[in-house]
Amino acid sequence: MNILTVTPNPSLDRTYEIPGLRRGEVLRAGRERVDPGGKGVNVSRAVAAAGHRTAAVLPLGGAPGDLLAELLAAEGIEVAAVPVAGRTRSNIALVEADGTLTKINAPGPELSAAESESLLAAVREHSARADWIACGGSLPLGLSPQWYAGLVARAHAAGARVALDTSGASLVAALRERPDVVKPNAEELAQAVGRPLATIGDAVKAAEEVRESGAGAVLASLGVDGQLLVTASGIYFARASVDAVRSNVGAGDASLAGFLMAGGEGPEALAAAVAHGAAAVRLPGSVMPAPADLAPASVTVTQAVPLDRPLRSPAS
């Protein structure tokens, strides 16, 4: 399995574990981590942790960009860097003792038209060897909401399958190019259809509408309520038992990596997605799970979707 990832707005992620978040006070962190960040970057990290080949296409600038490249290379990831004039951003995550996560995401550098085109050219250069292209995250300044649509179109022209994890206008614009898989969370799914989602049945209906708009399949993360896979051939629902959540940073990215490494379709891939996501939340910061961290026996997959079950964190 060879997975190419594209992250237009990567980051250095600094995670601090704190007893509790108290506004206006000096907080002393018990632990600190610095990890490569960004949705595509984390997919590559999870793929590499599982022993598969992966390359990460991303714009890098300044000293933070150099450090990000070093960290990725140390994890066995081929770095396809596109030099940019601006500095790669740094994000901060605060994880409280009860698992509550507070994130501060920087906007990132502004990319020029030439840098945007160089990024697409790097994707084209590396796509021929890829089984999947996984792209996602926010777009930096300088890239329009149609940028992902252009990427999907070019990837399909090269014969590649595309998994897209983005939201808002970028997701809606990309649907016309028919990405093979999209991976929204409940909030992003609600945003895509323009209405709140109160039950798992609401999430299923929203996912079906996203499919009708162009997505080949919808892999929807519902947080503690489980995960949905809505395809042309069926609808599947999966959950995993998790004793304690240490950090959910990057858990959705680990989930997408598990899905793609298992083939990117069907209930077996959904089970792998849930196993990887559940393993990720047990780890500190944005550490990606290795095969030894997985507990596939804790995952249940069914087509008997509990449509009436309320979402514990209603998406609006």
**CATH code for position 7:** 3.40.1190.20
Q: Exposed, middle or buried: residue 25 (CB in 10 Å: 0-12, 13-18, 19+)?
A: exposed
Q: Exposed, middle or buried: residue 106 (CB in 10 Å: 0-12, 13-18, 19+)?
A: middle
Residue of 66, 253, 293, 308 with catalytic role: 253
| pLDDT tens track for 148-190 | 999 999 999 989 999 999 999 999 999 999 999 999 999 999 9
Q: Exposed, middle or buried: residue 114 (CB in 10 Å: 0-12, 13-18, 19+)?
A: exposed
Give the count of domains, the chain. Answer: 1
Residue-level pLDDT, tens digit, the chain, 316 residues: 899 999 999 999 898 999 999 999 999 999 888 989 999 999 999 999 999 999 999 999 999 999 999 999 999 999 999 999 999 999 998 989 887 889 999 999 999 999 999 999 999 999 888 999 999 999 999 999 999 999 999 999 989 999 999 999 999 999 999 999 999 999 999 999 999 999 999 999 999 999 999 999 999 999 889 999 999 999 999 999 887 788 787 899 999 999 999 999 999 999 999 999 999 998 887 889 999 999 988 899 999 999 999 998 766 5
How many Cα atoms within 13 Å fall on the side-chain side of residue 2? 9
Domain membership of residue 275 as a residue range? 2-315
Cα–Cα dist 236/38, whole Å: 28
Are 255 and 227 in contact by the 8 Å Cβ rule? The answer is yes
The answer to whether 253 is a known catalytic residue is yes
Cα–Cα dist 195/199, whole Å: 12
Structure tokens, 314: 């209603």
Are 236 and 302 in contact by the 8 Å Cβ rule? The answer is yes
**Strand arrangement, sheet containing 89-96:** 31-37, 11-18, 89-96, 101-104
* DSSP state at residue 293: G
Structure tokens, 174: 């990309």
Looking up tokens 């897209």 gives: 164
C-alpha separations of 84 from 142, 261, 293 in Å: 12, 31, 36
Q: Please give the single-letter amino acid code of residue 288.
A: M
* DSSP state at residue 243: S
Beta-strand ranges (E) seen in 243-297 are: none
Beta-strand ranges (E) seen in the chain are: 2-6, 11-18, 31-37, 53-60, 78-83, 89-96, 101-104, 132-136, 161-165, 181-182, 197-199, 218-221, 227-230, 235-240, 299-302, 310-315
Cα–Cα dist 241/33, whole Å: 26
Neighbouring CB atoms inside 10 A of 80's CB total 18
Cα–Cα dist 19/134, whole Å: 35
Distance of CA 33 to the CA centre of its chain: 19
How many Cα atoms within 13 Å fall on the side-chain side of residue 280? 29
pTM: 0.92
Distance of CA 158 to the CA centre of its chain: 23
Distance of CA 78 to the CA centre of its chain: 19
